[in-house]
Amino acid sequence: GDSVTQMEGPVTLSEEAFLTINCTYTATGYPSLFWYVQYPGEGLQLLLKATKADDKGSNKGFEATYRKETTSFHLEKGSVQVSDSAVYFCALSDPSQGGKLIFGQGTELSVKP
């Protein structure tokens, strides 16, 4: 079945460092890809999404490009802030699987001042 694999955390960075969180997927159909963020004690918020190959999603300085050839959707940010500390989830939605969101295991990011 469909699955999502993220790099393991926790990831600890200094403020203004470059961030990459790797995400790869397997899918039988043509999924849409998402990054969600969960701040401590809160629910899930959509960070960005891409619905087809080569699309780039971006929001709040974060970017991710849907790479069909490498089945990847890596999250990047050029300069992280302390306020970016959270758990980040990569996810896919495959219409052939009923449209449910399938999540990676989450990557905890801690940004130190």
Partner 1 sequence: DTAVSQTPKYLVTQMGNDKSIKCEQNLGHDTMYWYKQDSKKFLKIMFSYNNKELIINETVPNRFSPKSPDKAHLNLHINSLELGDSAVYFCASSQQNYGYTFGSGTRLTVV
List residues binding partner 1 (CB under 8 A).
32, 34, 36, 38, 42-46, 49, 51, 87, 89, 93, 95, 98-103, 105-106, 108
Q: How far is the CB of 76 from partner 1 (least distance, A)?
A: 22
The smaller minimum CB distance to partner 1, of residues 14 and 68, is found at 68
How many degrees, rounded to 5, is the angle at CA 108 between CA 111 and CA 80?
30
Q: 98: alpha, beta or left, given left = phi > 0 and alpha = psi -120 to 50? A: left
Instruction: State both tokens at 16.
Output: 């203004």
Q: How far is the CB of 16 from partner 1 (least distance, A)?
A: 26
Q: How far is the CB of 71 from partner 1 (least distance, A)?
A: 19
Q: 26: alpha, beta or left, given left = phi > 0 and alpha = psi -120 to 50? A: beta
Q: How far is the CB of 94 from partner 1 (least distance, A)?
A: 8
The smaller minimum CB distance to partner 1, of residues 32 and 75, is found at 32
The smaller minimum CB distance to partner 1, of residues 16 and 42, is found at 42
Reduced 3-state DSSP string for 28-66: CCCCEEEEEEECCCCCEEEEEEECCCCCEEEECCEEEEC
